[in-house]
Each structure stands twice: as C-alpha cells, then as structure tokens.
Amino acid sequence: MTLITGASAGLGAEFARQCATRGDELVLVARRRERLDALAAELGGKVHVIASDLSKAEAAAELMAEVERLGLWIETLINNAGFGLTGRFADIPLGRQQQMIDLNIRTLTTLAHLALPKMIERGRGGILNVASTAAFQPGPGFAVYFATKAYVLSFSEALHQELRRKGIRVSALCPGPTRTEFGQVAGVTSQSFDRFSADAPAVVGAGLRGLQRNKAVIVPGLTNKVTAQSGRVIPRALMRRIVASLKL
C-alpha cells in the first residue's frame, strides 16, 4: 500500500493519480475529507481516506494505528504534506510557524520512524520525502519554511545511506515553484513564482521515477537543477542577498 500525506490538493493529489494508475492500493491523508472522498471516487480501486490534521502532536501515531486497524502495511510512504509562509520571521505569528515545523518536520520524521520497522522486517519499501529547492539555501523572507526543507533534505539523505543495503529506498524530492495551492497558502505575491512554475504531473512523475531508481536527491527540471547546484559556486553571503531580493 502507498500512503500519501497532503493528498487533497496539488502534488499529493497528483501522486494519488499516478500511483493509482500503476495499480497501488492507496491511503490518502489530509484535513479536507470531502476533497479526499472526491478524489477517491475519481480514482476508483482500493483507496482509503483518513482525515487528519498532521500538525497535531498525536496525529502520526493515530494515523499508523488506523492503518494497522485496516490491516494494511505501508510499502511506500509519500511524506508530501507541507506548507510555507512568506514574510519576516518576527512578523509571522509564532503559532503558525510552529505548526509548519510540526507538519513539515516532526510528523514527517515520526511517520518514517513508525513505517520503517515493517519495511525492514520485509526487506522492501520506499520513502519519498518532499523537500524543495528551498532546501539548498537560506531563505530570508521565508526563513522557517526554507529551514524546514533543509532539514527534510539532510534527514532524507542520511536515511538513504543508512537503509541502502536493507532493500529500502529513500529519496528527497526537491521541486522548484510548481502550480498547486502552495503559493496561495504561503502568501506568495511575486509574479515570477507563477511564471517559472512547473506543472504537478511532471514533478510527481520525476519523483516516482527517482524513488524507483533509489536516487537520494531528485531535482526535477533544468532550472531547478541549476538553482540546487548554485550554492557550489555562489558564496553563501551573496546567496542570502539574492534570495532576499526575490521578495517572494
């Protein structure tokens, strides 16, 4: 079974479509149950819907208990749910930023930890953690979000290495701007974000292919590959200024 977090919109809904097409049994998770139900009806086949606010401390454990109750085990975990917030760190309410850390980091980590024992026991499985090209540089004006994605990238690479001889694939998918509800939720106003946005199907296709090949880091699209590598040649002090000047 493939469990997809954040499946009610954007990349998560597209992961559901592409995984359903290849015949996976699915568990779809997000807060908006009606969206998940509609998607499940569209997909047909074996699709389970679990509504959960994954920023809550107990959510990951409750979700895993529900998966067990359904008699399922997670062969592929797509840790996709996440959100960002633009603005100056000091101006954004702390509670919202803590929710972001809880969702983007804590729940993602907990789900991986809870899913792994069965994968290790069976000697197969995959974890696709959705990071971002934001993982490769500091993000003034988007500080906590960029930092959460740096965590996801670092964590995923380390897990990839730990598990590579155990038959378990672990990849970090690092999309650049992509047409989803992300920009609206984050409060992105920059025109260039939209102009340079990729379409979700291409990003998701690259993610699933990359996980299949057990690539540690997947950066879809040429522009994003250049962005991801630019930290090798651009000094960090200059990189900070460049990102700040983008005024996302």
Ligand X SMILES: NC(=O)c1ccc[n+]([C@@H]2O[C@H](COP(=O)([O-])OP(=O)(O)OC[C@H]3O[C@@H](n4cnc5c(N)ncnc54)[C@H](OP(=O)(O)O)[C@@H]3O)[C@@H](O)[C@H]2O)c1
Return residues touching ligand X (CB under 6 A). 6-12, 30-32, 35, 53-55, 80-84, 103, 130, 132, 175, 177-178, 180-182, 185
CB of 177 to ligand X, least distance (A): 4
CB of 124 to ligand X, least distance (A): 25
Evaluate whether 139 touches 243 at the Cβ level (below 8 Å).
Answer: yes
Which lies closer to ligand X via its Cβ, residue 80 or residue 137?
A: 80
Give the sign of the dihedral formed by CA 226, CA 190, CA 147, CA 62. negative
| Rounded Cα gap, residues 5 and 71, in angstroms | 19
In 6-106, at which residue ranges do the beta strands (DSSP E only) sit?
Answer: 26-30, 47-51, 76-79
CB of 191 to ligand X, least distance (A): 14
Which lies closer to ligand X via its Cβ, residue 55 or residue 137?
A: 55
What count of other Cβ atoms lies within 10 Å of the Cβ of residue 67? 21
| Rounded Cα gap, residues 101 and 107, in angstroms | 9
CB of 182 to ligand X, least distance (A): 3
Written as one letter, the residue type at 52 is S
| Rounded Cα gap, residues 226 and 22, in angstroms | 31
For 50, list phi and psi in degrees, rounded to 5. Answer: -130, 115
Strand partners, 170: 127
Which lies closer to ligand X via its Cβ, residue 32 or residue 88?
A: 32
Which lies closer to ligand X via its Cβ, residue 79 or residue 116?
A: 79
Report which DSSP code applies to 198: B
For 189, list phi and psi in degrees, rounded to 5. Answer: -110, -15
Which lies closer to ligand X via its Cβ, residue 17 or residue 124?
A: 17
- Give me the active site residues, please: 145
Evaluate whether 78 touches 3 at the Cβ level (below 8 Å).
Answer: yes
Which lies closer to ligand X via its Cβ, residue 32 or residue 122?
A: 32
CB of 121 to ligand X, least distance (A): 27
Evaluate whether 73 touches 27 at the Cβ level (below 8 Å).
Answer: no
CB of 83 to ligand X, least distance (A): 5
| Rounded Cα gap, residues 62 and 46, in angstroms | 21
